[in-house]
Amino acid sequence: MSKTWKTLMIGAAVIAGMTGGASAQPAQDWQTVFDARVPALLSEHDVPAAGIAIVNADGVVYSGVWGEARPGEAATADTLFNVASVAKTIASETMLSLVEAGEFGLDDPMAPYWIDPDIVDDPRAQTLTPRHALGHSTGFHNWRRMSESGQLEIRFDPGSMSDYSGEGYEYLARFAEQVTGQDYAALVHSRLLEPRGIDGVVVGRDPGLAEHYAWSKRPDGSFVAADFTVPASAADDLYITVGGYGAFMAGVIRGEGLSAPLVTQRETIQFDFASRFCSIPVFTDICPDAVGFALYGSVFVWDGEPVIIQGGGDIGERALSFYLPERDLGVIIATNGANGAKLFEPLVREIYANENLLTFLRLQAQQG
């Protein structure tokens, strides 16, 4: 996750809002709309490629890809984009599927199965639960390298407040591996992707698909290819086709594989920090009724209506995913350029005319 997202969110993944009267744009010829917008935006902001999928509970309504996956090679429907922290949505749904199957409970202590060696002497490690990890209330830094010691640390009592942490998701993945006897990548495939018939979502790296991986364009203009030595992560570096991820998101919207009570928990704010958010001057005009982490992304509530968001950004890619459970609408935008966030506001405007959301996206893009 990029520094920009961290700064603007007070530790949240990414933010959006809804206003009374805001609504999804009417059905239209999306190909014509985006053909007229995306190539010009890619050129203007020096982003090699972008992919978009629009979904509802029935499936993918539209998907399209433009630009170059790597220098001289056109992006296609099979192009795999790195969507960075959007990986957490796949991890969340996998873990909730394990909860639904009775493998463990959201409030079960993880200590009997897993304690990271860095915190074995901290008694608070005994209290860590899957809910803490999914809801960003473990007390961990985003990454352990951010602590002064360079080791994993618990900075506050788990479950007492929230602060964004990729380490929390990695911790939960290690716990789930110990409970099930499967490694994380195998869990995602056997408990989520295969049962739901989802293709085009790659956890870890598959050298057999090397020709489909998009290269990421860094701020200095250089390109970086996918590193096939990187292990599967529950918190970062997920590769997707926009159509494949769109199919996943459609399942999320319809609550596939989860009971209604668990879907409700998935979308419930764990700690509301609207007062902190609204105290930041740049956000005063888009102050929500409530905001905080749920067990899947961040939830913002305006006029009683939620939007659930997870963004992603590393050195050469930017991605945005969000869904509106009460409007039966989901969107994924993936780019392979450091300036990719500059595409979000104009593209989302075509799909969902929401000035709070658009204002946030403009602010985010201004931060680089």
- Map out the domains of the chain as residue ranges: 3-366
State how far the Cα of 2 lies from the Cα of 174, in Å rounded to an integer: 24
Among the CATH numbers 3.40.50.300, 3.40.710.10, 2.170.120.12, 3.30.43.10, which is that of 3-366? 3.40.710.10
Q: Mean of the pLDDT values across residues 332-358?
A: 94
CB–CB of 346/41 below 8 Å?
Answer: yes
Of 174-178, 223-227, 356-360, the range with the highest mean pLDDT is 174-178
Token couple for 188:
């995602």
pLDDT over threshold 90, residue 238: yes
pLDDT at 196: 97
What percent of the chain lies above the pLDDT cut of 70?
92
Please check the confidence at residue 297 and state whether its pLDDT lies above 60.
Answer: yes
pLDDT at 168: 98
Taking CA atoms, 71 is separated from 48, 209, 280, in Å, by: 8, 18, 41
- Among 50, 54, 25, 38, which Cα is nearest to 245's? 54
Mean pLDDT in residue range 329-347: 97
pLDDT tens digits, one per residue of 125-152: 999 999 999 999 999 999 999 999 999 9
Average pLDDT in the 115-122 region?
Answer: 98
pLDDT at residue 3 tops 70? no
DSSP per-residue letters across 334-347: EESBTTGGGGHHHH
H helices of the chain, in order, are 3-8, 30-35, 38-45, 87-100, 130-134, 166-180, 184-188, 194-196, 242-253, 260-266, 274-278, 344-351, 355-366
The two three-digit tokens of residue 128, written as one number: 């860590």
Q: Choose between 17 and 42: higher pLDDT.
A: 42
Is the model's pLDDT at 66 over the cut of 90?
Answer: yes
Whole-model pTM?
Answer: 0.93
User: What is the model's pLDDT at position 354?
Assistant: 84
**Average model confidence (pLDDT) for the chain?**
91
Give the pLDDT confidence of 305-315 residue by residue, as tens digits: 899 999 999 99
Mention every residue, 6+ apart, whose C-beta is less than 8 A from residue 156.
139, 163
Q: Do 19 and 354 contact (CB within 8 A), yes or no? A: yes
Give me the count of residues in the chain: 368
Assign 304 a pLDDT band (cuts: 50, 70, 90): confident
- Among 21-25, 34-38, 203-207, which is the least confidently predicted range? 21-25
pLDDT average, residue stretch 71-87 = 97
Q: Tokens 């998009």 map to which residue?
A: 214
pLDDT of 214 > 60? The answer is yes
pLDDT (mean) for 16-30 = 50
